[in-house]
Structure 1
Amino acid sequence: MPHVLVLNASYEPLGVVPLRRALVLVLENKALCLEESGAFLHSETQVVPAPSVVRLKRFVRVPYRGPVPLTRRALFARDGGRCMYCGAVATSVDHVIPRSRGGTHAWENVVAACRRCNHVKADRHLREIGWRLRHQPAPPTGLAWRIIGTGHRDPRWLPYLQPYGAEDVMARIDSVADAPVRALTTG
């Protein structure tokens, strides 16, 4: 099911909701459709364009959200869906410093990895096997990461996310995803 970007009355991004929820907000006159997806939803008596971006009519006060939560989906978005060791398609999560050796489950210590690299590395330190990370892992920051970290991306959202660092986020994700696959370095 498609997802829709929800903006506050001030155009601040609030989150991503399923299409059905966004359509209910529009039909109940609680939100305005700013962008349409090009698809149409049919009922017995109506044809309604499916929204891609909606803006709430009333301002919603949002409490402080803290840092971006570490989720598998957000981690894969940060790393562009690529293994941080070899650049292949990532299928698993790996702790750079293994938890069995005192590593934490934090943004600075968790990376996306392919099955092969995760299996070969096992619970060893990188220096023990002579590997290097393609990029130093760091926690993502900004409102754009809250949206893109959901794993749902739509090019129609970019103009609404640009003031919140979306171009930097998209460039980082795309540069990691488009980087050439590198062989593992041993030494």
Structure 2
Amino acid sequence: MARKVLILNQDYSPLTICSVQKAFILVYLSKAELVADAGGYLLRSVTATYQMPSIIRLYRYVNLPYKGVVLSRQNIFKRDNGRCQYCFTPEDLTLDHVIPKSRGGKSTWDNLVTACKKCNSKKGDFTPQEAGMLLNQTPYKPSFVVFLRDFSGNIEETWKPYLSKKMKMF
């Protein structure tokens, strides 16, 4: 079962995405309610049949003091669509510091981009301007909701109203 389920907080704000199995267990144990099913897909046991969840809502509010996207290699690659930000190739990808670490550049969302090995070597210890290389997009830190909506892979049509709401981010 490769399908995913959107978990909403008690106030219908998006929390995370989980497996169908985890979502079913939350509903079965009465910790969450089924908001939307997966359009005709069923889960079967020996004695019963259940609707496969697509969206569930927790009965109790979960207070998350910080909803942010973790800075990681995989998340930078997702943000940059798995392509070098200089030549747009999907081959031999690494991370590049826009302002090199040797010049005080930090490992932050705003200073890391996906780069192929060839472009990373060509840029070397220079800024993109000094190396005569242009970035396809300016690096940025995605918000939690934007990350769920845009970089979590397959987004179900039924999820979109919950992922497009303007939310106050911490």
Q: TM-score range by the shorter chain?
A: 0.7 to 0.9
Once the two structures are TM-superposed, the CA of residue 45 in structure 1 deviates from its matched residue by: 1.8
| Shift in alpha-carbon separation, 1:148–1:114, aligned structure 2, 3 A | farther
2:148 corresponds in structure 1 to 147
Residue pairs, 1:11-90, within 5 angstroms: 11-38=12-39, 39-60=41-62, 62-65=63-66, 67-89=68-90
Q: Structure 1 residue 69: deviation in Å?
A: 2.4
Distance 1:76 1:151 in 2: 12
CA contact (8 A) 1:74 1:151 kept: no
TM-score, reference length from structure 2: 0.80
1:109 maps to 111
TM-score, normalised to structure 1, is: 0.73
CA contact (8 A) 2:32 2:58 kept: yes
- Given that 2:4 and 2:19 are in contact with CA atoms closer than 8 Å, whether structure 1 keeps it comes out as yes
Alpha-carbon shift at residue 49 of structure 1 (Å): 2.6
Q: 2 CA distance for matches of 1:58 and 1:66?
A: 18
The verdict on how the C-alpha distance between 1:67 and 1:24 changes in structure 2, with shifts beyond 3 A counting, is: closer
CA distance in 1, matches of 2:67, 2:11: 20
Q: 1:164 to 1:92 in 2, by over 3 A?
A: farther
1:149 Cα deviation from its structure 2 partner: 7.2
Say how many residue pairs are matched. 163
Distance 1:119 1:50, change over 3 A: farther
Post-superposition offset of 1:24: 0.4
Q: Report the alpha carbon displacement of residue 150 of structure 1 after superposing the two structures with TM.
A: 6.5
Structure 1 unmatched runs, 5+:
166-187
**Structure 1 residues 117 and 77, CA, compared in 2 at 3 Å: closer, same or farther?**
same
Q: CA 1:13 to 1:66, structure 2 compared with 1: closer, same or farther past 3 Å?
A: closer
**Cα shift at 1:158:** 1.2
Residue aligned with 1:17, SS: strand
- How high is the sequence identity, in percent, across the aligned residues? 37
